[in-house]
Amino acid sequence: MVCLCRLDSSWCELGHSLPAAENMMKRKLVIDVDPGVDDAQAIMVALATPNVEVLGITCCHGNTPVDNVCKNTLRILKVCNRLDQIPVYRGCTEPLLGRKIHAGDFHGKDGLGDAPDPDAPGLELLQKEGAVTAMIRMISENPGEVHLVATAPLTNLAMAVKLDPAISEKLKGLYIMGGNTDSRGNTTVCGEFNFVADPEAAYIVLNRFFCPTYIATWEFSCRNNLPWSFCDPWLAQDTDKARFMKRIFSHTMQMVQTERFEKEMVAGVGFTSCDTYAMAAAIDDTFVTECEQVAVTVELEGRYTRGMMVLDPVEMLKKQHKVNIMKTVDLEKLKKMLMDSLK
């Protein structure tokens, strides 16, 4: 049975909000990324949130090859003055079975708008520990406390749950940007990029993680976009962060306002920071105002549908675990988070 729930500002009907006393504690995040400009936006939102503690950032292939992902993550931490505080781990370089794909047309070949920084931190600053074992360790050291935010292909998560099947039971919650609900793709006819980049990993994660799970899908992101006019004051702030974001975002802003991309949008043209929706849901329980609770899986064999997320509203899959598909969010809170992230 599909449950369409509205969430009030004080308590989530799905039982995911925190009691008032616990809200005063730092919210612990592990972030799995493939920056990507919208990953950068999501990371910067987390770093600017006072009650959030980022335990570590794990890097995965995706928008750009994994070495670029690692370099980009270090660049983001540098501009936020957090380079010496948050460990970064190199993760999986390719999908479990399929061919590698990247999103150079959208994010720039280097992942951050082809706006290089000659003083960018080097890869020697990465942790020696690999991303998958680090993810397992950080979650195991903080049982029941970690919110895992996944804005990349899910290869690192799939490897982690294969190595430690109990990892899902130790999580407070899982927040994914990926998948789709209406068979409308942005990479293939029916597939969203993160799931198409590693369908097997997406399948494993959606069938082996049983913690509270929230998914920001492609169609949802398009339907909850912000007007382009928001970007003018957002990027005009007189800070190094804003100047950094303006440089790396310029390529994507030009690309998404082309006729080709406008046809891909589900509900009109606007500023859509896909990964930031998953991050915002992880750091603020009141951000999601409506969601659909439903069992899901991932198609692995279809010629046109490989990587497509499949919803099961009639419960033919007989799955006990249901995820929460985001439907609507508080866009005013999103605006504030984004503005604060560049201050």
Looking up residue 179, the CATH number of its domain turns out to be 3.90.245.10
At 249, the amino acid letter reads: F
Report the distance separating Cα 110 and Cα 130, nearest Å. Answer: 22
pLDDT tens-place string over residues 210-226: 999 999 999 999 999 99
Report the distance separating Cα 149 and Cα 26, nearest Å. Answer: 16
Band of residue 25 on the pLDDT scale cut at 50, 70, 90: confident
pLDDT tens-place string over residues 173-183: 999 999 999 98
Report the distance separating Cα 168 and Cα 246, nearest Å. Answer: 37
Compute the mean pLDDT over every residue in the chain, rounded to the nearest whole number. 90
Active site residue 34: yes
pLDDT at 257: 66
Q: Is 150 helix (H, G, I), strand (E, B) or coil?
A: strand
Q: Which of 22-31, 82-91, 286-295 has the lowest mean pLDDT?
A: 22-31
Please compute the mean of the pLDDT values over residues 10-23 and round it to a whole number.
Answer: 41
**Is the confidence at residue 18, as pLDDT, over 50?**
no
Tokens of 55: 């335990």
Q: How many domains does the chain have?
A: 1
pLDDT tens-place string over residues 97-144: 978 898 877 787 888 998 888 899 999 999 999 999 999 999 999 999
pLDDT at 338: 98
DSSP assignment of 152-211, as one string? S-THHHHHHHHH-GGGGGGEEEEEEE---SSS--SSSSS--HHHHH-HHHHHHHHHH--S
Q: Do 177 and 277 touch, CB atoms closer than 8 A? A: yes
- In this prediction, what percent of the chain has a pLDDT beyond 70? 90
pLDDT tens-place string over residues 29-55: 999 999 999 999 999 999 999 999 999
pLDDT tens-place string over residues 321-337: 999 999 999 999 999 99
Question: Which residues lie closer than 8 Å to 312 by C-beta, 6 or more apart?
Answer: 294, 295, 296, 297, 319
Residue 144's domain comprises 3-341
Tokens of 32: 């799995």
pLDDT at 252: 80
Please compute the mean of the pLDDT values over residues 259-288 and round it to a whole number.
Answer: 81
Please compute the mean of the pLDDT values over residues 252-261 and round it to a whole number.
Answer: 68
Band of residue 21 on the pLDDT scale cut at 50, 70, 90: very low
Query: Which candidate in 34, 38, 39, 330 is catalytic?
Result: 34
